[in-house]
Every structure is written in structure tokens, then in C-alpha cells.
């Protein structure tokens, strides 16, 4: 493995740890103050979507 591959793996690992940290937040905490509990208001899913894009970009390029 060269330096670029090692850096890529470290960044992807960091993003996966960040995604795991986001998902362990309680749903009640995420939806506090929301007018309803619709799934699209759960910010954890939006964060996972954005982190998945980041992981794809780092892994691919």
C-alpha cells in the first residue's frame, strides 16, 4: 500500500466512525422541536446520505 491508499483508508474510516456516531444519537434528541416526526425530518438520515457521498468521493478519487 502506498501513502495515498493509507490516507484514503484513514479518511474513509473516519467518515464511517462519524456515521456511526450520528446514528447513535437518540431520535427524540434529533426531532426535538420538530412539528411532526416524519422520516424526512430525521437529520441522521440526511447526515448519512451526505457522508455516503463523501465516502464515495474519497474512495473513488
Q: CB under 8 Å to 16, separation ≥6 — which residues?
A: 55
Dist CA 15 CA 34 (whole Å): 27
What is the model's pLDDT at position 59?
84
CA distances (Å), origin 46, targets 9, 12, 54: 23, 18, 13
The pLDDT of residue 25 is 94
Which residue ranges make up each domain of the chain?
3-60
Does pTM top 0.85 for this prediction? no
What is the residue-level pLDDT of the chain in tens, covering all 61 positions? 899 899 999 999 999 999 999 999 999 999 999 999 999 999 999 999 999 999 999 888 8
Amino acid at each position: 500500500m502506498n501513502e495515498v491508499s493509507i490516507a484514503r483508508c484513514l479518511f474513509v474510516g473516519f467518515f464511517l466512525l462519524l456515521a456511526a456516531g450520528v446514528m447513535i444519537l437518540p431520535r427524540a434528541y434529533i426531532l426535538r422541536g420538530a412539528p411532526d416526526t416524519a422520516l424526512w425530518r430525521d437529520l441522521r438520515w440526511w447526515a448519512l446520505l451526505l457522508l455516503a457521498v463523501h465516502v464515495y468521493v474519497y474512495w473513488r478519487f
